[in-house]
Structure 1
Amino acid sequence: REQLCESVQQCVLHCEVIVEGEMQVYGIEVEITDTNDHAPSFREPETELRISEMTSQGSRFPLRDAQDEDSGQNSVQSYELSGDEHFSLAVQTGPHGDRRPELVLAKALDREMTAFHELVLRASDGGEPSRTGTAHIRVSVLDVNDNAPVFSPAEYMLRVSEDMPVGSTLVTVTATDTDEGIYGHVKYLMKKFTEKASKIFQLDSETGVITLVQSLDFEEGDSFELVVQAQDGGGLYDTAKIRITVTDVNDNAPEISIRSVLSTISEDAPLGMVVALLHVRDQDSGANGKVQCSLVGGLPFRLQSLQGSLYRVVTSRGLDREAVSEYNVTVRVVDSGLRALWSSVVLSLHVLDVNDNAPMFAEERY
């Protein structure tokens, strides 16, 4: 299920059955339900945090959340922290129900008494039985660094066309730190991103410039969320979110697939007889994905729209083999984009003879 339906709550597979003789289409939906066959896991099983001894009590430090390929109740449900009285755990619930662990400073630090703190973060899912995963956290206590970097703004909203050239600069994130020397030198790094995003976007750790290193494709991903961390030389940091919305361009031509077709037809075929069943689709969205299907030329056939994106080609008037013995029926589909794209298929149809003509003498009298 996790391979077939990555990041999808309800895993439903769709297929179709076509009855050839009746030209009927029946849809089938197969839902694959989840079992608790994956344990929570941390992308970084060992994490080191550098925290100043002047950090005030109650300060919070975001931790990398655990990932569980299962869904629903079988995914990550709770976190717990063990190992040190100086720290406690808080779990924030995001707008989509995701749980985000945060390390909370419960007791003031003193580097001269304890320079390092060893913690264990445990994530548990809600399966029966429950599965768990752990991450080890090592906290290094630093000398005084009383100003953390600050992003302005804290959230960046970008709209990027999917045809933006590779190598383009998307945005420059900036955080300032009023400290001097190493405590005021800020470096940038990605803290939360998907594997796909890591291949598309690149962050310069010194300048904060985010560039495009791989072509965008609206049909493969229409939005991305990155979390960038600015960290000074003393271990203090701030984070900013970058929300990138990819806009669609008309870069996919409509596609026609022939689901069923006749190669021959009798000249006495009744009106409305089905000669072909077609499926039309366009991977673009909006007007770029809206298509119009038509037949080219004044032939004795017409298109009949079915549910979804299915069409039938049926006879619209009588056939006469003695007049026309073969038809090449061109089906053309065009999208509604500003620069419209189109495609077509040709259906070859031979007309079979029936005995509908009596012999005739050239002259009535000899």
Structure 2
Amino acid sequence: RAPLLLCCVLLLAWEAAWAQLRYSVPEELPKGSFVGDVAKDLGLQMAVMRLIDRGRTQYFSLYGKTGHLVTAERIDREQLCWQLEKCVLRCEMIVEGEMQVYDIEVEITDINDNAPSFREAEMQVRMSELTALGSRFPLRDAQDPDSGTNSLQSYELSGDEHFSLAVQADHGGDRRPELVLAKALDREEAAFHELVLKARDGGEPPLTGTARIRVVVLDANDNAPVFSAAEYTVRVPEDVPVGSALVIVTATDRDEGINGHVKYSFHKISDKASELFHLDDDTGEISLKKEIDFEEISIHELEIQAHDGGELSDTTKVVITVTDVNDNTPELTITSQRSEISEDAPSGTVVALLHVQDRDSGANGQVRCSLDAGVPFRLQSSRGSYYSVVTTRQLDREDVSEYNLTVRAVDGGSPPLWSSTVLTLRVLDVNDNAPVFSEASYSARLPENNAAGALVLTVRATDADSGQNARVRYRLGEGRVRGVPLSSYFLVDAETGIITLKEALDFEDTRSYTLFVEARDGGGLVAHCKVELEVLDVNDNAPEI
């Protein structure tokens, strides 16, 4: 079955104008089933792509090497999109390096994997033997979570000539079975009638579900309960405490005694609503038994039945609208981020891409983002709920070598809720500072006849850059004395700047020297200084007659 379903995958047209892809796959495919070739459809080659993780269940995976989008698990359409006509799952993909986000929509199409079913396999309908021909009695309808033609299509009744079946369509298009009395009842002739109600869907082949109906014939009860309103509506905030009374439905019956005693029950209610609401069968009070969430379901529709002791009944509709309160903090996530930036990066360079969302609605879901003041960065609205953090000028590593930027998201609730995240950005050095000597000019005095290797003096230069750009090496400049290169007399240590003699000096030969020393950093920037050396005389010559 899985290979057959896989062959039925339909690829929909993709729309590059909005950087959006759309695909369609049937539900219940095995994990790893092919959805679409994202790289091919976007025309991307040798790109690094990944799906953006929002911390929620991921229903799809993206193979980075092939660009194929596949299912990450078996998908049940009825579980994910209950009561939705169209089931669309969305994810976002980012192409690293481009900081471009693409929306991907995958429609999950229905297969006929659910048979119609009744909440109760057996029903009991009690009616008076004086019930008029043509009277109708609403029956519990069947539920089929599938959609379209795979959903519930028809009902069939069998078992007794006293009854026929009518099917009514309500405003929402749901088919509602009704039991119709076709032949007069006689309790003395038959106190019970056994029927079978079959529900059928439109799948190929069709699936069916059945419920047994037992009709109990009663003595005459000629007044049915009547609700005070055909529909009750109530609005409640989502933070209403558990146990609170939401609404009271009221029905009256003109009969007396047991035939006029009204009891209340849920006639039509979803599984989710049955977990949230409690109905007092004596008072008609509907109360809350579990917390409600506007972001999950905002409207609940219930049908309440009032039946008297003779089992005549009336139904009413209750619409409970859940209103939003500010109970969700803005979610601020880093989609992509640089960890370092060169200090000569131009103004407007993007250093991070952020996504912000708030599950609340209205003002409670409107989010404002802000960045620390006094930093050379600003927030720029990128697309939808995305923000870019960009530079406002060139940076200076020698001024600030690392930034810790706090981005804050605040919603419009009262009081507002907020969240924040910190971006750490290291500034990389460029060689924009030349070495600087501690003195522009050095001088020294040295007696003649010192041995080779004697210390003359030490020159020192520093560089404000870092790493290789700050490494300084020294070199003796070109020059001659009496036709002899200075390098024959002096030696400069390239690492330390220490100047030493290569041979002894002779006062009677040369009384002073002028040296030029060059300091060069690892990036090629240079500085120069002058060194004046005076040779001192010693008594090393006897008088000549």
TM range (shorter): over 0.9
Does 2:351 correspond to 1:275?
Answer: yes
Give, as a single letter, the amino acid of the residue that structure 2 aligns with 1:252: N
Partner in structure 1 of residue 306 of structure 2:
230
Partner in structure 1 of residue 168 of structure 2:
92
2:110 to 30, 34, 39: 34
Matches of 2:396 and 2:342, distance apart in 1: 9
Partner in structure 1 of residue 427 of structure 2:
351
Matches of 1:26 and 1:178, distance apart in 2: 65
Superposition map of 1:329-344 within 5 A = 329-344=405-420
Matches of 2:139 and 2:293, distance apart in 1: 31
Q: What TM-score does the superposition give when structure 1 sets the normalisation length?
A: 0.96
Q: CA deviation at 1:172?
A: 1.6
Matches of 1:65 and 1:356, distance apart in 2: 80
Partner in structure 2 of residue 164 of structure 1:
240
Matches of 2:116 and 2:185, distance apart in 1: 31
Q: CA deviation at 1:271?
A: 2.0
Give, as a single letter, the amino acid of the residue that structure 2 aligns with 1:314: V
Superposition map of 1:1-366 within 5 A = 1-366=77-442
Matches of 1:155 and 1:94, distance apart in 2: 14
Give, as a single letter, the amino acid of the residue that structure 2 aligns with 1:17: M
Q: CA deviation at 1:187?
A: 1.1
Q: CA deviation at 1:255?
A: 0.9
Q: CA deviation at 1:362?
A: 4.6
Deviations 1:265-323 (A, max 9, x none): 11111222221111100010111101111212121112222222111111121100011
Give, as a single letter, the amino acid of the residue that structure 1 aligns with 2:231: E
Q: What TM-score does the superposition give when structure 2 sets the normalisation length?
A: 0.65
SS in 2 for 1:288: helix
Deviations 1:41-77 (A, max 9, x none): 1111111100111111221111111111211011011
SS in 1 for 2:167: strand
Tell me: higher relative CO, structure 1 or 2? Use CA pairs within 8 A at least 6 residues apart: 1
Bigger radius of gyration, 1 or 2? 2
Matches of 1:6 and 1:277, distance apart in 2: 34
Matches of 2:208 and 2:278, distance apart in 1: 33
Partner in structure 1 of residue 24 of structure 2:
none
SS in 2 for 1:2: helix
Aligned residues: 366
Give, as a single letter, the amino acid of the residue that structure 1 aligns with 2:232: Y
Matches of 1:185 and 1:339, distance apart in 2: 49
Matches of 1:270 and 1:340, distance apart in 2: 36
Deviations 1:177-233 (A, max 9, x none): 111111111111112112221222111111112111222211111111111111111
SS in 1 for 2:275: helix
Give, as a single letter, the amino acid of the residue that structure 2 aligns with 1:195: D
Q: CA deviation at 1:7?
A: 2.2
SS in 2 for 1:297: coil
Q: CA deviation at 1:6?
A: 2.3
Matches of 1:7 and 1:242, distance apart in 2: 18
Q: CA RMSD in A?
A: 1.4
Deviations 1:77-103 (A, max 9, x none): 111211222211111112222111111
SS in 2 for 1:287: helix
Give, as a single letter, the amino acid of the residue that structure 2 aligns with 1:317: R
Give, as a single letter, the amino acid of the residue that structure 2 aligns with 1:166: V
Give, as a single letter, the amino acid of the residue that structure 2 aligns with 1:62: P
Q: CA deviation at 1:365?
A: 4.3
Matches of 1:290 and 1:4, distance apart in 2: 26
Matches of 2:314 and 2:420, distance apart in 1: 55
Matches of 1:4 and 1:175, distance apart in 2: 37
SS in 2 for 1:197: helix
Matches of 1:205 and 1:3, distance apart in 2: 31
Give, as a single letter, the amino acid of the residue that structure 2 aligns with 1:102: E
Matches of 1:194 and 1:114, distance apart in 2: 35
Matches of 1:3 and 1:186, distance apart in 2: 37
Partner in structure 1 of residue 445 of structure 2:
none
Q: Which runs of 5+ in 2 are unaligned?
A: 1-76, 443-545
Matches of 1:325 and 1:197, distance apart in 2: 58
SS in 2 for 1:196: helix
Which moved further from structure 2: 267-276 or 354-363?
Answer: 354-363
Matches of 1:265 and 1:84, distance apart in 2: 84
Q: CA deviation at 1:2?
A: 2.1
Matches of 1:199 and 1:66, distance apart in 2: 19
Percent sequence identity over matched residues? 70
